[in-house]
Chain A
Amino acid sequence: MLPYYCASVLAVFLLGMSHLLFWPMLPVAWGAARQIKTSSIYLLAFVTGILHDLIWSKPIGAGAIFLVLLCVLTVFLQKRFKSQNRIFLLVLVLGQVGYIVLSQIGFI
């Protein structure tokens, strides 16, 4: 399990290395893969989003909106896929791609 997580993180890190902002997706992906309570995943996403906005000097709230929406997608994925590994990687990749797109248009 752990080597798979590490390999996924490394792959996604390389995918968006020019941003080095892949980390906000990690708690959400981890929470989804570990199948923690849905309410806890949302809280985790909100707190991570606010922290991200503060640390990277982004508009406060933008990162939180993005991560909460990613969580909605994650909850949907949890119902579709049973494989924790697959969910972890999907959330990371979708999160990273979405993040790059939104940061290029200046939303986050």
Chain B
Amino acid sequence: MNASSLKLPLFYIVISLVLLLLYQAKILNPFLNITQMVTVPIQYAAFSFRDGIEDQFSVLTFWRSGESRIRQLEQRNAELTAKAAQVEGLERENQELKNQLGSKALPVTELIPVAIVGFDHDLVIGAGSNQGVKVGQAVIYLDNLVGKVNRVEPRVSFVQLPNDGSAKIPCKIKLVRCISSGQFNSTILLDRVTQTEEVVSGDIVQTSGQEGLFPPNLVIGKVGKILSTETDLFVQAQIEPVIDYSKLTTVFLLP
């Protein structure tokens, strides 16, 4: 391959680099504002289509794991039913105490539902700066933490998930403080728990609310396999998210 044959690809690469720089400097935002009117619906349709296709293929693998999964879910259902009854009793008791003390209920935060239009390195949601989305906003699903907005475009935003390599979230297990850190977009690691604290598989990991990154008590996941040994300084374990991020279709933005 001689030098003259490389002129053309170099020309296109230079143009692409210029576009990339303009994009990073947000100079292309007015242009994106117009194009995303067309591309966001296409992206959403393609994302839904992909989900449909994956569901078709999941039927082929279901026979292997299906039976044990159904058994686990039945057991979990029974546990949750018992817990729900307990919670109902506690709620009633709590309300009675509040009535006696004359305290008012805490204000309920308004959640903003947003559709997911793509999932790759980040979760792409179908709302951007035009809809008032800001970098740093927390994204949740039910009481589970989905992530935080780390990039905003006019009509879409990108959500950094807890398993992202640069995600570090202050967390807690009951009263024990910890740090959850993402690993290569695949797993979440529980760290910074001293060996004197007791951490067992199945414990719920929640946001602690420290540093003001996220509101407290959002579920990050459950403690999975313990990775550290007794001689290590800190307890290290895997965190298994309760929700499958790739299966979400709608999430909620905290104002």
Residues of A within 8 A of B (CB): 17-21, 38-39, 42-43, 45-46, 49-50, 54-57, 59-62, 64-65, 68-69, 71-72, 75-76, 103-106
Contacts and interface: CB of A to CB of B under 8 A. Distances in A.
18 contacts: A17-B53, A20-B46, A46-B12, A54-B35, A56-B120, A57-B40, A57-B117, A57-B156, A57-B158, A61-B15, A62-B16, A64-B12, A64-B16, A65-B13, A68-B9, A103-B120, A103-B121, A105-B121
Contacts of A106: 121-122
Nearest to A13: B53
Nearest to A57: B156
Interface stretch (B18-26, B170-178, B233-241): B18-26
A64 B118 contact: no
Interface in B133-167: 153, 156, 158
A32 to B, nearest CB: 14
Q: Which 4 A-B pairs have the closest CB atoms?
A: A61-B20, A61-B19, A61-B16, A64-B16
Chain A binding site: helix, strand, loop or mixed by DSSP?
helix
A45 B1 contact: no
A56 B246 CA distance: 16
Interface string B1-15: 100011011001101
Contacts of B18: 61
A23 to B, nearest CB: 10
Contact of B20 (A17, A38, A57, A65): A65
Contact of B9 (A50, A56, A62, A69): A69
A104 B185 CA distance: 8
Contacts of A50: 19
A104 B121 contact: yes
